[in-house]
Amino acid sequence: MNKKKPTTRAVTIDEVASQAGVSIKTVSRVMNREAAVRDSTRQRVLAAAKELNYKPNPAARSLASNRSYFVAMVYDNPSASYLLDFQTGALDACRERGYSLLLQPCDYQSPQLVEELITLVTERGHPGLVLTPPLSDLTEVVEQLDRLGVKFVRVAPVDPEHPSPYVAVDDRAAAYDLTRYLIDMGHKRIGFIKGHPDHGASQARYEGFRGALRDRGLGLDKSLVVQGFFSFESGEQCGRTLLARKDHPSAIFASNDEMAAGVLHIAHDLGIDVPSRLSVAGFDDTPVSRYTWPSLTTIRQPVEAMAKSIVSTLITVMRDERKKDQSNGTVFPYELVIRGSTGPASR
């Protein structure tokens, strides 16, 4: 029976080698998918490895090769659900390729940021880095890492100029679509809560918003645009600002779900019914968007798929010196999710 009792002792390469009747070096070649191995030999080795349930020892591997089998996710204070989704996708990609995921929380404003990352990189045997927003937009960091030969990829960078690979959604277009939807529901005075100014997406979303107003022939009323910081509290504050006036906007588009939740709170406080007297929309489709009352109209991003994709790319970069002519970015589709927090403008 193949039901072997699980053992905690690892099988070494020598055992596989003698089982297959080859040298350990050949086993190593097979395990690393190197080309120069006769196919019959490869099969024999693979069979032996499988039978013995051999797994290369990662410590020995990275010691000998000075390579890393780690991907480090670098983030600063993300929303919990974003982190979870991203991790799930990243872990998925890692598992497929036999890598592990490290977590590197950090402070994007720290002057020692690059230094810290370098420390991480050298300490851990040169893992690849995944820079999530807003780190993906720190030009100086990106350039220094590049100069030092650190392999990295970026998530949702504003500036796709840098040749490092990235994933993103078209924030501008998404915000445009959502705004147009609101306009088409009859809203003429729409409040906008900008996202954290250090996140590239904030600017893009704002531009999408303005673009839709323009294309629909509505002017931009600057007094209806307020600066938020992606937090629930900032959403409350902005909501208070926008809703204080008697002639408050009939719709508010917040640059993320948490701020939209804050706006809803204030609307409830003020006794403004949603959506009959006020429509509220968010962005990201985090679980939050379903916990609020009413549920939020928002934009869904395929965060998990994006994470999986970009981490997979990163691993490719770490391994192969991927072809230089390949396009460096992937843009994923978004989806407008309409829920109860938006409705036709009342008159």
Partner DNA sequence: AGCGGCGATGACAACGCTGTCAATACTATA
Partner DNA sequence: TATAGTATTGACAGCGTTGTCATCGCCGCT
> What's the Cα-to-Cα distance from 344 to each of 116, 176, 187, 341, rounded to whole Å?
51, 18, 7, 10
Q: Does 110 bind a second copy (CB under 8 A)?
A: no
114 φ/ψ angles, rounded to the nearest 5 degrees: -60, -45
> What's the Cα-to-Cα distance from 288 to each of 45, 80, 152, 232, 297, rounded to whole Å?
51, 10, 31, 10, 11
Task: Tell me the closest approach of the beta carbon of residue 239 to DNA, in angstroms.
Answer: 54
Q: Does 60 bind a second copy (CB under 8 A)?
A: yes
Distance of CA 340 to the CA centre of its chain: 27
CB-CB contact of 223 with 238 (8 Å): no
Q: Does 318 bind a second copy (CB under 8 A)?
A: no
Q: For residues 61 and 248, which CB has a smaller minimum distance to DNA in the complex?
A: 61
Report how far residue 308's alpha carbon sits from residue 297's, in angstroms, rounded to the nearest whole number: 26
The strand pairing partners of 155, in sequence order, are 167
Q: Identify the residue whose tokens are 């996710």.
A: 73
CB-CB contact of 280 with 243 (8 Å): no
Report how far residue 94's alpha carbon sits from residue 73's, in angstroms, rounded to the nearest whole number: 12
Q: For residues 1 and 35, which CB has a smaller minimum distance to DNA in the complex?
A: 35
CB-CB contact of 283 with 205 (8 Å): yes
Which of DNA, a second copy, none does residue 33 bind (CB under 5 to 8 Å by kind)? none
Within 138-157, the residues that bind a second copy by CB under 8 A are 144, 147-150
Residue type, 138: L
Helix (H) / strand (E) element for 201: namely helix 200-215
For the record, the structure tokens of 67 come out as 């390579």
Q: Does 270 bind a second copy (CB under 8 A)?
A: no
Q: Does 323 bind a second copy (CB under 8 A)?
A: no
CB-CB contact of 342 with 178 (8 Å): no
CB-CB contact of 212 with 205 (8 Å): no
Task: Tell me the closest approach of the beta carbon of residue 165 to a second copy, in angstroms.
Answer: 17
Q: Does 51 bind a second copy (CB under 8 A)?
A: no
Task: Pick the closest to residue 134 from 183, 81, 198, 187 (CA basis).
Answer: 198
Contact string 215-234 vs a second copy (x = CB under 8 A): -----------------x--
Which of DNA, a second copy, none does residue 197 bind (CB under 5 to 8 Å by kind)? none
Contact string 117-136 vs a second copy (x = CB under 8 A): -xx-xxxxxx----------
Report how far residue 106's alpha carbon sits from residue 3's, in angstroms, rounded to the nearest whole number: 45
Task: Tell me the closest approach of the beta carbon of residue 45 to a second copy, in angstroms.
Answer: 18
Task: Tell me the closest approach of the beta carbon of residue 189 to a second copy, in angstroms.
Answer: 24
Which of a second copy, DNA, none does residue 37 bind (CB under 5 to 8 Å by kind)? DNA
Q: Does 9 bind a second copy (CB under 8 A)?
A: yes
Task: Tell me the closest approach of the beta carbon of residue 2 to DNA, in angstroms.
Answer: 10
Task: Tell me the closest approach of the beta carbon of residue 134 to a second copy, in angstroms.
Answer: 18
Q: What are the residues binding DNA (CB under 7 A)?
A: 10, 12-14, 21-29, 31-32, 35-38, 40-41, 54, 56-57, 60-61, 63-67
Binding site for a second copy (CB under 8 A): 5-10, 53, 55, 57-63, 80-81, 83-85, 87-88, 91, 100-103, 105, 114-115, 118-119, 121-126, 144, 147-150, 232, 258, 261, 264-265, 268, 287-288, 290-295
